[in-house]
Amino acid sequence: MNPARSSFPGALSDPAYNAALRAFLRAYPAYDHTAVEALRAREYARLDASGHVYLDYTGGGLYAQSQLDEHLAMLRGGVYGNPHSNSPASRAATDLAECVRAQVLAYFNAAPDEYAAIFTQNASGALKLVGESYPFGPGDQYVLTFDNHNSVNGIREFARARGASVAYAPVLPPELRIDEGRLMALLEGARPGAHNLFAYPAQSNFSGVQHDLGWIARAQALGWDVLLDAAAFAPTNRLDLSRWHPDFVVLSFYKIFGYPTGIGCLIARQSTLPKLRRPWFAGGTITIASVQGDGYYLQDGEAAFEDGTIDYLNIPAVEIGLRHITSVGIDTIHARVMALTGWLIEQLGALTHSNGAPLVHFYGPAHTRQRGGTVTFNLFDPDGRLFDYREVEAAASHANISLRTGCFCNPGAGEQAHGLTREDLADCFGRQERMTFEEFIRIMSGRSKEAVGAVRVSLGIGSNFADVYRFVAFARTFLDRLH
């Protein structure tokens, strides 16, 4: 047995754990420990059964036991067929999918006459739909923030290929928030009559920073269509589309409730949707297409964007997942996650070696204001030398702790967090041959860039105090350890 499992410090008999829990509950009185433990025992018991500390909710959420039970019961009890016909089996699948579509809009408080919900494979699939269909051309612009997932960065390739210009608003260390002055200067440069697209994440998957949702209306008033990446925000925050009105919202459902994987959504404003021009047609997207007539007509609305057969057996599990989140309450989830995040940041920030040197350097805010439950950092030895994130990851895995390391598919935030400059990076991208991540790290080390990756821990619906307590205990094992 893994020794880390047998010495699980969350055991009720551990006096240090109990003292820490009491102090935590005094500091965070809104945290309902009894309710969290009941939810954990009822729905996420497999974590404790295997002594697993799961700290990668920004990578993927965890599913509740009841979601699986309900979905299996639904599959066992029905006959579902391909939705593209009129048989009873087909109707049953179509009716379910349409019902889920309505539930998705209702969950985000999006009026059906204002928004359409388009099922995609994941958030990246939704982003690709926007990127390939947005009518970029010469004179048009794509503005985005340094802090973005690669699937948002990737849209720049569609923009450039069609002659549009691309510009980035930088983030500022140490909190890694957007340089608002630079952003507003870019947004004020909207070209009248042109297509201007602005993309940013509601919450950073790198630093946990929450960016200002007020930028949506400001950018729109200046002439921009706004694409909001809600993939990292939606799992622990309420996104109310009756209050905020982005043109496009993208997300992946597995990040919110773990199961099913393979389904995401593009929630698009009905008034902006007609702007999008699909570059092809596919089964399911057309009313009619002809070989000899060499033509086709696209469907109206969502159907024009859902290529082929939708995932009709798994889409109903989205409604089950949304109902699970609603039964716990997204505001309750948010409050619990932020209490645990606050304690985690305080405890990690207070860890110092015997010589007084700090163990942890955070990338992002070292407090809980305007941030979510994603905390990114590196560990340093008493002489200030970095512990390679791969070493930390290996030790965490040994202790049965799942976390994420590297750059988290968010190179812009990482480059600015680690002080990598345009000159540093120019070296890497002028080559003929493909470069591996290992080679990249080697080149950066050669340029005296100590860190090119970091450690990320993130909390979610299944997290409890024992998880963060165990992680802090794990971090302590690096105290006074020389690199």
Binding site for ligand PLP (CB under 6 A): 58, 122-124, 149, 151, 201, 205, 229, 231-232, 252, 264
Residue reference for tokens 């388009």: 118
CB 64 within 8 A of CB 38: no
Residue 124 or 314 having the CB closest to ligand PLP = 124
Determine the residue type at 360. V
Q: Which residue has the tokens 């608003």?
A: 169
Mapping DSSP onto H, E and C, the string for 351-394 reads: CECCCCCECEEECCCCCCCCECCEEEEEEECCCCCECCHHHHHH
Give bridge partners of residue 454 from the DSSP assignment.
Answer: 406
Residue 325: CB minimum distance to ligand PLP, A:
17
First to last CA, the chain: 28
Crossing angle (nearest 10°) for helices 315-328 and 330-349: 70
Distance CA 392, CA 239 (A): 34
Of residues 122 and 207, the one with the C-beta less far from ligand PLP: 122
Q: What is the DSSP letter of 371?
A: B
Least Cβ distance, residue 458 to ligand PLP (angstroms): 10
d(CA 247, CA 216): 9
Closest contact distance (angstroms) between CB of 459 and ligand PLP is 14
Does residue 154 sit in helix, strand or coil?
coil
CA angle 281, 283, 289 (to 5 degrees): 60
Q: How far is CA 300 from the centre of its chain?
A: 30
Give every CB contact of residue 326 below 8 A, 6+ residues apart in sequence. 107
Say if strands 165-169 and 171-172 run parallel, antiparallel, or are unpaired. unpaired
Euclidean distance between CA atoms 347 and 469, whole angstroms: 9
Residue 196 or 252: the one with the smaller Cβ distance to ligand PLP is 252
- What tokens does 389 get? 């994130």
Which of 43, 147 has the CB closer to ligand PLP?
147
Four-CA torsion 99, 102, 103, 108, nearest 10 degrees: 170
Of 103 and 205, CB closest to ligand PLP:
205
Cα-flanking dihedrals φ and ψ of residue 325, to 5°?
A: -60, -40
The least distance separating ligand PLP from the CB of residue 150, rounded to whole angstroms, comes to 8
**10 Å Cβ neighbour count for 314?**
18
On the 0-12 / 13-18 / 19+ scale of CB atoms within 10 A, 57 is buried
Q: Which is nearer to ligand PLP, 382 or 414 (CB)?
A: 414
> At residue 141, what are phi and psi to the nearest 5 degrees?
-140, 145
Q: For ligand PLP, which is the closer residue by CB, 122 or 272?
A: 122
409 an active-site residue?
yes
Nearer to ligand PLP, 83 or 246 (CB): 246
Whether the CA torsion 250, 229, 133, 280 is positive or negative: it is negative
Choice among 99, 265, 407, 409 that is catalytic: 409
Using left for φ > 0, alpha for ψ between -120 and 50, and beta otherwise, residue 199 falls in: beta
H and E: helices and strands count for the chain: 19, 17
To ligand PLP, the closest distance from the beta carbon of 464 in angstroms equals: 23
Min separation Cβ 123 and ligand PLP, Å: 4
Tokens matching residue 479: 């105290």
The nearest distance, CB 158 to ligand PLP, in angstroms, is 16
CB of 331 to ligand PLP, least distance (A): 21
Decide whether 140 or 311 has the Cβ nearer to ligand PLP.
311
Active site residues: 409
